[in-house]
Amino acid sequence: MVKVGIAGGSGYGGVELIHILLRHPHVELTWISSQQHAGKKLEEVYPHLRKFLDIRFSALEEVPASQLDVLFLALPHGEAMKLVPGLPQKLVIIDLSGDFRIADPRIFEEFYHFPLSCPQEQKAFVYGLTELNREKIRAARRIANPGCFATATLLALYPLFQENWIKGPVFVDTKTGSSGAGNSPRDATHHPRRANSLFAYKPFKHQHLPEITQALERPDYPLILQTHSAPFVRGIFASHYVELAKSATAEEVAKLYESYYAADFFIRWLPGSPDVNLVRHSNFVDIGAATQNGFLIVWSVLDNLQKGAAGQAVQNMNLICGFREETALDLPPVHP
Ligand SMILES: NC(=O)c1ccc[n+]([C@@H]2O[C@H](COP(=O)([O-])OP(=O)(O)OC[C@H]3O[C@@H](n4cnc5c(N)ncnc54)[C@H](OP(=O)(O)O)[C@@H]3O)[C@@H](O)[C@H]2O)c1
């Protein structure tokens, strides 16, 4: 059994981690933090977890680092970097925020609008996109878990970049559900504003853009990313518009994706459009495509709290701890 703690256990990423880890056969969840709920029982804040875990929230400052094997950080951007330098080297840290994803501190500051306070610590972090980085993750003790948009886009574009199928810029149009913004309501995330609505935000400058081009090893590639707020609770739907270097048939496109992800349980190829409803509450990423006259549209969908955050974080923990990669994650999506 590994002893696990969650900093930010009261947030949406944190409670999703709790939900997954409750069914993990090799994990003992011993510590969770919340600043505003410190001292309260988990079930007071999250009644849906009554009868599943008898634990109280602690303040972040009380983290019992020497008694834990793995610590998940599910804190807002900028908070993990304050904590990590004081934590023991032997502790496995999996950070869900963007703090340690970007290798170049200047690029980090350009997109996050504040400096990375511990650039030396950043060097120890491995980018946790499991399917692209499995062996490095297995050997790591520090994981920068990817962003939800970045996960959807990287898995959709990676085979095309690897095989040099792309000519010219790539246009990425992506939509997120409201849980992507966390559990503190703000003007643009409030239900009356979001329900039955659709709007764009952060044109060209979303903070997931540099982690996408960094992971593709094409830092200057013209990749135009537009994110949108969509009127559902969970899910990312990403469309990628590409001009092909050489025309391909639908069968050739299918063969490319099927062969790239043949060994990856959580990636599913399907002909045609995927659907956010068909990956909900699961760690799956569904990818589909259509092609005509040398152009290609690739769609990818995932659950932002699962493969986009907590699910992928647990997938990475499983690799690091030597557990079967799918442990606690190999459940089918919930539908309808
Ligand atoms: N939501 C997603 O779909 C998603 C996907 C991928 C990555 N992420 C990333 O995961 C991280 C957590 O996101 P989330 O959606 O779970 O956010 P959230 O719902 O807003 O939860 C934030 C958590 O951090 C705690 N917290 C807030 N400010 C703090 C501070 N100054 N010091 C210590 N603790 C503090 C909160 O505790 P209190 O109980 O005191 O408020 C809460 O437990 C973020 O970095 C986010 O970008 C989220």
Can 321 be counted among the known catalytic residues? Answer: no
Name the phi and psi angles at 174, rounded to 5: -135, 145
For the Cβ of 83 lying below 6 angstroms from any atom of ligand 1, the answer is no
pLDDT of residue 316: 99
Atom of ligand 1 nearest to the CA of 37: 39
Domain formed by 148-303, architecture:
2-Layer Sandwich (3.30)
Task: Tell me the mean pLDDT in the region 277-296.
Answer: 98
Separation of 304 CA from ligand 1 center, angstroms? Answer: 14
211 has pLDDT over 90: yes
Exposed, middle or buried, 78 (CB in 10 Å: 0-12/13-18/19+)? middle
Task: Tell me the mean pLDDT in the region 214-230.
Answer: 97
CB 267 within 8 A of CB 287: yes
| Confidence band for 188, pLDDT divided at 50, 70 and 90 | confident
What pTM, to 2 d.p., does this model score?
A: 0.98
pLDDT of residue 293: 96
Task: Tell me the mean pLDDT in the region 140-155.
Answer: 98
For the Cβ of 296 lying below 6 angstroms from any atom of ligand 1, the answer is no
Query: How high does pLDDT run on average in the chain?
Result: 97
For the Cβ of 146 lying below 6 angstroms from any atom of ligand 1, the answer is no
pLDDT of residue 187: 86
Separation of 326 CA from ligand 1 center, angstroms? Answer: 25
Domain ranges of the chain: 2-145+307-321, 148-303
Domain formed by 2-145+307-321, architecture:
3-Layer(aba) Sandwich (3.40)
Task: Tell me the mean pLDDT in the region 211-223.
Answer: 97
pLDDT of residue 186: 87
185 has pLDDT over 90: no
pLDDT of residue 271: 87
Instruction: Give the Cα separation of 276 and 289 in Å (integer).
Output: 15
How much of the chain is in helix, strand and coil states, percent to nearest 5? 35, 25, 45
321 has pLDDT over 90: yes
- Distances in Å between the Cα of 231 and the Cα atoms of 53, 193, 299 are 32, 9, 18
Instruction: Give the Cα separation of 41 and 45 in Å (integer).
Output: 7
For the Cβ of 14 lying below 6 angstroms from any atom of ligand 1, the answer is yes
* Percent of the chain clearing pLDDT 90 (strictly above): 97
pLDDT in tens, 14-48: 999 999 999 999 999 999 999 999 999 999 999 99
Atom of ligand 1 nearest to the CA of 73: 11
CB 78 within 8 A of CB 112: yes
